[in-house]
A and B are shown apart, each in its own frame.
Chain A
Amino acid sequence: MALLAGSMAMGVGALYSIGSADLPVQDQQPVRFSHRQHAGTLNIHCQFCHRYATQSPVAGVPSMALCQTCHESLSETTPDMKMLRIYWKEKRPIPWVRLQRLPDHVYFTHEMHLFAGLSCTSCHGNVSGMSSTPRAPTYEMGWCLTCHEQRGASHDCWTCHK
């Protein structure tokens, strides 16, 4: 039964994320990172880790060394913290499963959206309350356009299509 549900999900997945192999089963991250802990409880600013957001199209995944700046001095209280330590010791980068994705024909830049005064939560939701980050709802064009319309941003196709 689980197998059947899995293959059904695969079918649907293939339908909606064309050509991609992103399946819900993959959403298990190699290390169970909690945004609630980091962004919520510890109140670490988004851009402390995603540090390229204001200067690049991509926000960036923090380097392992950046994780280590804090984790170095922390005792390993959870299995995941132990995992992190193992990755670091073995000098292996963590293969995070990609949750946010835009198709190749879309041009999106974090830089200009932050410059326009949007906050991270406007698009990414209140991640500081999420212990396990879910797959992003598909960033569909209609969803983008609604916001562009409300804010008087450009509607020209070539603003976002490349």
Chain B
Amino acid sequence: MSQDPQATEEYSKTAASPYKWEMVVDLDRCSGCEACVVACHAENNIRISGEEEAAEGRAINWIRIERYWEGDYPNVKAKFLPVMCQHCDDAPCEPVCPVYASYHTPEGLNAQVYNRCIGVRYCGNNCPYVARQFNWFDPHWDEPLAEQLNPDVSVRSGGVMEKCTFCVQRIRSGKEAAHKEGRRVRDGEITPACVQSCPTSALIFGDRNDPDSRVSHLKKSRRGFHLMESLGTHPAVTYLRRLSE
């Protein structure tokens, strides 16, 4: 069901051509229920900050639901906007890292290499989406909560910046499974934790280089836009506008 058979052929021919990961957020579906937030915490070993740290604004969420009030009572509206790392093609966080801990992967992910990070926080300051969060202290889990930690994701220590990875561990294992079977990753085969959990299917993930993928179709929607488009960061997250009269 490709719109462009030539592009499809081109894509399948070049089995070695890279993936380019993309997420689409359909705001007309998003209900703000925050299932994604807990899914992300569970998958990515996100620390429990506790009341005091949270009050300091240091609670860590790789994905958060922003809420925008519009108008006054009784004509008031609240609109939700899930925000995660936008994995910008021209990411403001990358060039400012003195130690190359923040860099761009060939598959379009904006990566943070934790063991390289020295915690200068330049990247966090330069990120217009507030997608990067800093570990002011070592994380702590009251025993036996740590039994739940995902061994596929490293636990970030104090002094390190962290952020959404599009669940790179899931991408990795999806690619490995495909590689062992000598094929490309199928559309929908890899789902980051947030995408997997989303009850309304507001989040869609896939390969932008695959012209047949759902994200490739959806990102062409007339409802599509990027957050802070004018900055020219070229995010890998496309939002689809919520419809209203």
Contact = CB atoms under 8 A, between A and B. Distances in A.
B169 A107 contact: yes
B155 A107 contact: no
Nearest to B153: A162
A158 B176 contact: no
Given A156-B105, A157-B105, A158-B111, A115 B180 contact: yes
Contacts, number: 42
B168 A162 contact: yes
A157 B113 contact: yes
Contact of B152 (A103, A107, A111, A161): A107
A2 B106 CA distance: 52
A112 B176 contact: yes
A38 to B, nearest CB: 29
Contacts of B116: 157
A119 to B, nearest CB: 18
Contacts of A162: 152-154, 168-169
A104 B180 contact: no
Interface residues of B, number: 21
Contacts of B153: 162
A162 B165 CA distance: 9
Contacts of B176: 109, 111-112
A158 B109 contact: yes
A95 B3 CA distance: 60
Interface in A76-125: 103-105, 107, 109, 111-112, 115
A143 to B, nearest CB: 16
A161 B115 contact: yes
A102 to B, nearest CB: 11
Nearest to A112: B176
A124 B176 CA distance: 23
A118 to B, nearest CB: 15
B109 A104 contact: no
B113 A112 contact: no
B106 A161 contact: no
B155 A104 contact: yes
Nearest to B115: A105
A107 B115 contact: no
Contacts of B155: 104
A156 B106 contact: yes
B103 to A, nearest CB: 7
Interface of B: 103, 105-107, 109, 111, 113-116, 152-155, 165, 168-169, 172, 176, 179-180
Interface of A: 103-105, 107, 109, 111-112, 115, 156-159, 161-162
13 contacts: A105-B113, A105-B154, A107-B172, A112-B176, A115-B179, A156-B105, A157-B105, A158-B109, A158-B113, A158-B168, A158-B172, A159-B172, A162-B154
Task: Sort A-B residue pairs by CB-CB distance and give the 7 closest, nearest first.
Answer: A105-B115, A105-B154, A104-B154, A157-B113, A158-B111, A162-B154, A161-B113
